[in-house]
Amino acid sequence: DSIRAQGLVQPIVVRPINGGRYEIIAGERRWRASKLAELDTIPALVRDVSDRSAIAMALIENIQREDLNPMEEANALHRLREEFSMTHQEAAEAVGRSRAAVSNLLRLRNLNDDVKRLVENCDLEMGHARALLALEGELQTDTAKIIVEKGLSVRETEQLIRRLLKPVKEKPHQSDALLEEIDKIEQLISKKLGDRFAIKHAASGKGKLVIDYSDIADLRDIVKRIK
């Protein structure tokens, strides 16, 4: 109704093709909405661009849509990076996102297929999916199903996954006090790094702090956060 009353505010972008015709490279959804509103004319910007540039513009516009789920965004960003050999930073600048946001979305492609489908169906939010990346194999899939069945919040999901990653309490050298201390340390680190790390503490007292990063730019960002 607003398009019928006020017309199309934002122009579509087209490029000339053979026979005096034009091809839409950005704004196809707006064009379709204008047809439904029975508009005779709509504003358009004409750009003489190559096939490669046209594909890039169409991909970028698709990623910027508000109705995409996180998995669709991740796949579109992956295609943009693969087809145009972009770094995470370049892709972020192209779509108007932060590099960290782009890196987090791309990491979703590492999820199990069953978990990806839950994200695609909007059964899991972005925060759930990011937390699940700390798990692998069937444990990741089974945990995802529990999250959906119980309707867990993102915070509850993060707490559940931290418990799953903890060593078994019954080990002799891991008292409740020690486990509680490790949990507090995890919470402190998560304020700096989010869910991109894992603490693996052995009964001997030794352990590892494992930090996940997607590329050198992501690693530099982690170093800045730690400082």
Paired residues of 13 in beta bridges:
26, 45
pLDDT given at position 5: 45
Question: What HEC string does the chain produce?
Answer: CHHHHHCCCCCEEEEEEHHHEEEEEECHHHHHHHHHCCCCCCCEEECCCCHHHHHHHHHHHHHCCCCCCHHHHHHHHHHHHHHHCCCHHHHHHHHCCCHHHHHHHHHHHHCCHHHHHHHHCCCCCHHHHHHHCCCCHHHHHHHHHHHHHHCCCHHHHHHHHHHHHCCCCCCCCCCHHHHHHHHHHHHHHHHHHCCCEEEEECCCCCEEEEECCCCHHHHHHHHHHHC
Task: Report the predicted TM-score, pTM, of the whole model to 2 decimal places.
Answer: 0.55
Residue with tokens 């839409």: 24
87 close to 214: Cβ distance less than 8 angstroms: no
* pLDDT tens, residue order, the chain (227 aa): 444 444 445 788 888 888 888 888 877 777 888 888 888 888 888 888 777 777 777 777 777 666 788 998 899 888 888 888 888 888 888 888 888 888 999 999 999 999 999 999 999 999 999 999 999 999 999 999 999 999 999 999 999 999 888 864 444 445 667 777 877 887 788 777 776 677 777 767 778 888 877 788 878 888 887 77
Q: Say what the alpha-carbon torsion angle 4, 39, 21, 24 is, to the nearest 10 degrees.
A: 10
146 close to 114: Cβ distance less than 8 angstroms: no
CA distance 202 to 173: 9
CA distance 12 to 61: 11
Residue 28 annotated among the catalytic residues of the structure: yes
Q: Which of 28, 90, 120, 125 is catalytic?
A: 28
User: Which domains are present in the chain?
Assistant: 2-49 (3.90.1530.30), 111-163 (no CATH), 166-227 (no CATH)
pLDDT given at position 147: 95
196 close to 132: Cβ distance less than 8 angstroms: no
Per this entry, what is the length of the chain?
A: 227
